[in-house]
Structure 1
Amino acid sequence: MSKRQLKLGLVPTGVGGPGDSNRWLDTDIPLDASVNIDWYIHVVRQAEAAKFDLVFIVDSQFITANSPPHYLNRLEPLTLLSALAVATKKIGLVGTLTTSYNDPFNLARRFASLDLISKGRAGWNVVTSGDAGTAGNFSQPEHFDYDTRYRRAVEFLDVARGLWSSWEEGALVRDRATGQFLDAAKLHRLDHAGEFFQVVGPLNIQRSPQGEPVIFQAGDSDQGRDLGATVADAIFTHAATIEQGQAFYADLKGRAVRQGRDPDQIVILPGFSVYVGETDEQAKDIERHYRTLDQSFDQALAEFGRPFGWHDFRQYDPDAPFPVAALEHAKSSFYTHAKRVTDLAVAEGLTLRQTVEGARAGRGSPFVGSAETVANEIQRWFEGRALDGLNVHLGHPSQFDRFVGEIVPILQERGLFRQDYEADTLRGHLGLPIPAGRRTTATDRRNAA
């Protein structure tokens, strides 16, 4: 077996994502970074030069005036990733798209196109959409409830994977001598008829060098974790401590085993900000400086309502007990996260102000210090099975420069991270096998089960 190696992803959120409302004030960041393709090409090429596995483009499809700057005005993921595909050679290209407000055929075709354009570097972060207001942008009266969202996601992904298997190896003969372009026996309809979708197929585009896009998933509810353990190749998550990371890692891999899967074929990639200084104390000062500068309490309070269906918490006295009734507004939004926040506030008797400040403090990073200190901590998490790799939030460019220039070389010297790319596809980077194509119809699969 090849040696287990750390994976690295880049998460660029331009002029400022959640918790970073004022990042755009940094003069190293173009004022239009979130829609500036030249800026994206620059930072992704920087990550590729450092041999990162992937770049991850986050997305949602509903905003309010309180959304962070990057969310207000940003490029659509597949359009952006297609541009990056022709501006890069090796790095994986992962984008967030929802199963709640798309159809499987169109999305399967668009991802297959990105996979071919990039020669096998595409990845799909499968989400069910947590912003309840999204329904109003898609002619729907309300957002799907939790159970419906996840049942739809499972069926959606099954259809997409069935469509990606429309073509067998050798189906496209392309023999000028005989005049045969297609071996029709190797092209298959899907004929899917399910609860949410009826899709005939076949897909009108061939498989890529990695077979099909890599599937990522990021839900943290029981339904979300079950979905990830059942269908995902890689998992995006968050962890404030190594103990939290280890608990999630063990739980997710255990669920995968119970699904009959090889746990080593699921890559766990929590996201982190990293702060680097000449000394540990200087790095802590840098983190404090940016945390104070990048978001005020009033901005945090306005943004705090997102997991609660964008409920406006500014209507409450911040120094009164946390308004527990607000949890009702999270039923069709990010309920798991909102309930965790509410339960903590109740258990500790917190005011709204204390809850918001606690959430801000909770965004602090475990990876703060000199380059040596941060590399040591990354190694501790990796060897302690709290992660298989990490998604590095780009944040302030000067800090990312230090990560790739100072920390990555230490990880490489220790044999934890690659010196150079050893594969051409995203599956190859992540150590994942090419999935076998499905050569039967959905009906045949159901009958066989």
Structure 2
Amino acid sequence: MMSTDTIFALSSGGLPSGVAVIRLSGPASGQAVQALCGRQPAERRASLLSIRNRNGEKLDAGLVLFFPGPNSFTGEDCAELQIHGGRATVKAVLAELAGMAGLRAAEAGEFSRRAFLNGRMDLIEVEGLADLIAAETEMQRRLAAEQSSGGLSKLYDSWAKRLTHARAMIEAELDFADEDDVPGSIADTVWRDMRQLEQEILNHLSGVRTGEIVRDGLKVVIVGPPNAGKSSLLNYLAKRDVAIVTDVPGTTRDVLHVDLDLDGFAVRLYDTAGLRETDDVVEQEGIRRTQLSMAQAHLVLLLSSLAEPDWVAFTEGYDGPIIRVQTKADRQDAAWRDPEADVKISVRTGEGISALLDLVSGYLPDLDQGSALALPTRQRHADNLAEARSHIGTALDAGGSGLDIQAEHLRLAGQALGRVTGRVDVENLLDVIFSEFCIGK
């Protein structure tokens, strides 16, 4: 699906910078380069050329590359201008491109969208590319690299081929049941493989939570009564003053967070309003948000600075994992130390902080550093995979309804699987997916 217009954008991020990369894609890319540089460089070879405006005035000099379609990032003719990253220089070159007939500035995600529409990437690879650009930790990078390079797509494609093969064998048995060259045992072989495929998808879906944690981070919520040291702990771990710390109870009214890199994983740490009875309307809203954050947490750090805290009272309604943290461990009072606490810390001395982080690390996914991260990372992946598995299960259970009904459920399973990679029925997904991209990607 080739586009008639040519798009351009600054693809290299904020200015000023040492080098700025301007990317073009579309049928007029070569003509645009020729108009700017006086000639079109050899295919896939970097050429140092002067860049001039239509009046012949030199704007800059830089490396220019031309990639003819279909063997390019978007599948169309593409070009790149690697120029100096001064604001005025980049602005002048972009203005010159905007003045050329048939060229326009790219929309967010339009380069990647064209790559998808031209068959250069599927949706899994597109989403992986978006995640790779946004990755901040090593595990996020590994997960995104696996998806953007097609590792996950190969798995789903192999499942789709098995479904297609099963349907073909069933259709053959329906159409040629009287022929000698169609053995009656085909159906048994097909359903044995479909039963195995159903289990493989079920096993894969068990990794949804792991994929969510790797991609979006382990969500850790700090809760407890006012003045338990929640904001002080957040500031200590963030190594900056994120939250206001005072002796006045109820200082924190909203949910604040910082992101940590722990063993290569992202850990998102949330500071919340202190839990207590209050008539303050604003503080009540903060407590409501605290309870909502707890409901969405992967882990809760329950803090208290009391000698004998009532740990149960502050987590009513929450049944997830909890680490009980007794704060202000620099106190000299030995009777203050509660044996029920999982760890005792002091942000003044640093005591217990390493032990606390070790406990948090215990809730991170246990992944082999050498293994591939073939994990579903988005809710739409999980929903469509669950639908595919459901249809396979229905087909397996519908033996008394006839092979034609069973084959139809396998077709529906294939459609659900195809919606993950974008092989079928994806138009309603595109705006959502590509809106996540920055201009120039």
TM-score using structure 1 length = 0.22
- Structure showing greater Rg: 2
Greater relative contact order (Cα < 8 A, sep 6+): 1
TM-score using structure 2 length = 0.22
